[in-house]
């Protein structure tokens, strides 16, 4: 009967006024019991005095409970804070009671009314014990019957027996719709192993074996360790992905809702959590000083990198932010996002960087002090057979923006390049390298400070392999991989954008800044981990299909070209490339010729690119035949000599 009543009303909450009435009645019962204890568990006292004293006790208790608000807590979720409130309410009622007795004794308002101080002290203890016990008793009943009725369908281990682990346990057990049962904690602290926390056993992490998980019927392991290093998390998770469990993680404390962890916030471990990328701090004093009262223009501002650069610039006290992109829908979405976040001092402009007249009008109207140029085509296989567009945007567009920056006396121009520009094997990489070279030519005029940043793949960006793998997993696979040995460097979008801003601030013009990308990641291993982190198994549930290298694709990426080296900067993740100096006049002439040739859809455009960038050798592409035709007698190659930038 009790079980049926509780389960039927599991989603209803008791009225706070009902809780107040029950608390007052409990206080009165505690007062009567105090008399019995005081007189040796008998009624050997003037019982008629209770008729006068009990109404006073009830009124004083009600006043104390109303002042403290101890009756407002949700009884089924009683915790330490609720017990603290009960303690405060009982202490306050005792103080008021003693004050009433002493005042009445001093002034004699009611000669027949008095309460022994020993009675009040005993009453305080009994009331505190009774009110606390009643709350935990109801909580235990609820947990025993109502939650049991939810039919627990998964057993969970919490990795981490610290404060965060205990809060995770509370979030799971207090969640009304949770069907998880915490079987134990896992911790590497020998002093904790074998003990219990809230009735849940703590195991040492060496018990995590397939047999242990099978015997305990564990289906989930939740990592609840705050500020854990990605490298350590990766090591721990990789030891679990081979086991038949799902791996989840508790978010950082700063992401908890109103300082409290909710069960709904515990999410599946993402592959991004395992890559060794340090968290960044958005606010930076050097960047803040550089951007103060400046007008900043961002091309490609609605793209994955460009939009994050915009978001981070919005954190600073700039004068005006001009966002240019030809993708209308993406730009509109960014505009709405910035408005919802309270940013208004920005101007979104739908425009094409190939349109010199349109860009010139924008420069004339807004007079930017800094330009961040991120607009580009970057999909390697597509650009391999669309060289006209790649040259027109990546080279011609960059040339247009750079020329206008000089004409309109822009202070700094920051160009966002890629590791694919190093020893390029594809059209996209070659166009970005030629754009880098043009930027170096413009720096020689010493009017605008031209700065180049170069980094690898960005997690979650358009064209990144991780979103592609996620879509393929959602569709049931297989995951398509070009080669089993292919490796890539990765960094997060916020980190890449932060480093772009940092490099823009520290640059004095002419530098190529190389970002520390950490360790290269084998894509085949990444794909297997993504499958397993999705709760599936490889190859039983989802297989990995090797499709062969795509046109222009490398097995591995490089951040430095032959003959290049790096110098350190004050920022440990940013280095300056010691690059090869160019014959600037010859290079600029060749780039002008390339842009003109490309306007006429000439098939010679790619051949000209190979002349400008001698290290550009096509890979796995129809354009390889152009390499075969090049001979040592070619005299159209620019002269190169190694110097330090």
Catalytic site positions: 420
Q: Which of 408, 392, 420, 499 is nearest to 448 (CA)?
A: 408
| DSSP of 17-30 | HHHHHHHHHHHHHH
End-to-end Cα distance, the chain: 84
Q: Say how many CA atoms lie within 13 Å of 449 toward its Cβ.
A: 13
33, 128 contact by CB (below 8 A): no
- DSSP 8-state secondary structure symbol assigned to residue 451: E
Helix (H) or strand (E) holding 574: strand 574-578
Distance CA 1, CA 577 (A): 77
Helix (H/G/I), strand (E/B), else coil: 536? coil
Rounded-to-integer distance, Cα 76 and Cα 79, Å: 9
CA distance 97 to 117: 9
Residues near 93 by Cβ (< 8 Å), separated by ≥ 6?
27, 60, 61, 63, 64, 65, 124, 127
Q: What is the dihedral of CA 253, 254, 259, 262, to 10 degrees?
A: -60
What backbone torsions phi and psi does residue 630 show, to the nearest 5 degrees? -70, 135
Strands 180-187, 154-159: pairing is parallel
For residue 40, the SS3 value is coil
Please answer whether residues 530 and 521 qualify as being in contact, where contact means their C-beta atoms are separated by less than 8 angstroms.
Answer: no
For residue 378, what are the contacts with CB-CB under 8 A and spacing of at least 6?
418, 428, 462, 463
Q: How far apart are CA 220 and CA 243, in angstroms?
A: 10
Q: Which residue has the tokens 């890629």?
A: 418
Q: H-type helices in 216-368, by residue range?
A: 230-238, 271-274, 285-291, 304-313, 328-340, 356-366
The Cβ of residue 497 has, within 10 Å, a number of other Cβ atoms equal to 27
Structure tokens belonging to residue 606: 């790619």
Q: Report the alpha-carbon angle 263-269-275, nearest 5.
A: 145
CB-based contacts of 170, cutoff 8 Å, min separation 6: 79, 261
* Cβ contact 422:379 at 8 Å: no
On whether the CB atoms of residues 591 and 402 are closer than 8 A, the answer is: no
User: Exposed, middle or buried by CB within 10 Å (0-12, 13-18, 19+), for 45?
Assistant: middle
Alpha helices in 314-459 (DSSP H): 328-340, 356-366, 380-384, 387-390, 398-407, 427-443
């Amino acid at each position: 009967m009790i079980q049926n009543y509780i389960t039927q009303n599991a989603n209803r909450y008791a009225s706070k006024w009902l809780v107040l009435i029950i608390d007052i009645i409990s206080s009165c019962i505690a007062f009567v019991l105090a008399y019995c204890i005081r007189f040796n568990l008998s009624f050997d006292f003037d019982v008629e005095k209770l008729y006068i004293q009990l109404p006073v006790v009830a009124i004083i208790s009600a006043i104390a409970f109303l002042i403290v608000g101890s009756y407002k807590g949700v009884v089924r979720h009683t915790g330490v804070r609720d017990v603290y409130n009960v303690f405060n309410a009982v202490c306050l009622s005792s103080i008021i009671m003693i004050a009433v007795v002493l005042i009445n004794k001093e002034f004699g308002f009611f000669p027949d009314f008095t309460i022994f101080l020993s009675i009040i002290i005993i009453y305080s203890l009994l009331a505190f014990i009774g009110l606390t016990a009643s709350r935990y008793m109801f909580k235990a009943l609820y947990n025993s019957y109502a939650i049991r009725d939810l039919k627990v369908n998964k057993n969970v281990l919490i990795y981490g027996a610290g404060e965060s682990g205990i809060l995770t346990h509370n979030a799971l057990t207090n969640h009304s719709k949770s069907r998880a049962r915490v079987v134990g904690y896992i911790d590497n602290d020998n002093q904790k192993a074998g003990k219990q926390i809230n009735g849940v056993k703590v195991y040492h992490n060496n018990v995590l074996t397939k047999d242990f998980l099978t015997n305990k019927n564990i289906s989930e392991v939740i990592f609840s360790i705050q500020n854990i290093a990605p490298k350590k998390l990766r090591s721990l998770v990789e030891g679990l992905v081979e086991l038949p469990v799902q791996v989840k993680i508790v978010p950082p404390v700063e992401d908890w809702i109103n300082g409290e962890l909710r069960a709904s916030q515990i999410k599946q471990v993402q592959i991004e959590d395992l890559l060794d990328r340090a968290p960044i701090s958005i606010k930076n004093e050097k960047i803040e000083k550089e951007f103060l009262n400046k007008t900043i223009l961002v091309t490609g501002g609605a793209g994955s990198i460009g939009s994050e650069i915009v978001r981070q610039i919005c954190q600073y006290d700039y004068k005006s932010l001009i966002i240019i992109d030809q993708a209308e829908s993406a730009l509109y979405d960014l505009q709405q996002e910035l408005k919802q976040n309270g940013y208004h001092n920005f101007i979104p402009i739908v425009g094409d960087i190939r349109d010199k007249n349109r860009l010139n009008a924008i420069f004339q109207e807004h007079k930017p002090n800094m330009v961040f140029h991120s607009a580009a085509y970057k999909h390697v296989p597509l650009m391999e057979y669309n060289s006209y567009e790649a040259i027109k945007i990546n080279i011609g567009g960059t040339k247009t923006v750079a020329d206008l920056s000089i004409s309109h006396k822009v202070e700094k121009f920051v160009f966002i390049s890629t590791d694919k520009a190093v020893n390029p094997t594809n059209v996209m990489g070659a166009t970005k390298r030629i754009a880098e070279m043009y930027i170096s030519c413009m720096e020689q005029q010493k009017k605008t400070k031209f700065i180049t940043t170069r980094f690898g793949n960005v997690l979650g960006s358009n064209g990144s392999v991780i979103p592609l793998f996620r879509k393929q997993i959602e569709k049931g696979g297989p995951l398509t991989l070009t080669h089993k040995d292919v490796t890539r460097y990765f960094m997060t979008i916020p980190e890449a954008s932060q480093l772009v801003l940092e490099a823009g601030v520290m640059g004095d013009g002419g530098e190529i800044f190389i970002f520390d990308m950490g360790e290269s990641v084998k894509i085949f291993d990444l794909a297997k981990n993504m499958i397993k982190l999705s709760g599936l198994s490889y190859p039983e549930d989802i297989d990995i299909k090797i499709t062969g290298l795509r046109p222009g694709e490398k097995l591995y990426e490089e951040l430095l070209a032959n003959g290049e080296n790096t110098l350190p900067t004050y920022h440990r993740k940013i280095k300056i490339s010691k690059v090869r100096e160019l014959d600037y006049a010859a290079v600029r002439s060749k780039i002008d010729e390339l842009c003109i040739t490309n306007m006429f859809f000439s098939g010679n455009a790619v051949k000209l690119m190979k002349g400008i960038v001698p290290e550009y050798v096509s890979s796995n592409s129809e354009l390889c035949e152009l390499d075969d035709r090049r001979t040592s007698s070619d005299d159209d190659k620019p002269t190169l000599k190694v110097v330090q930038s």
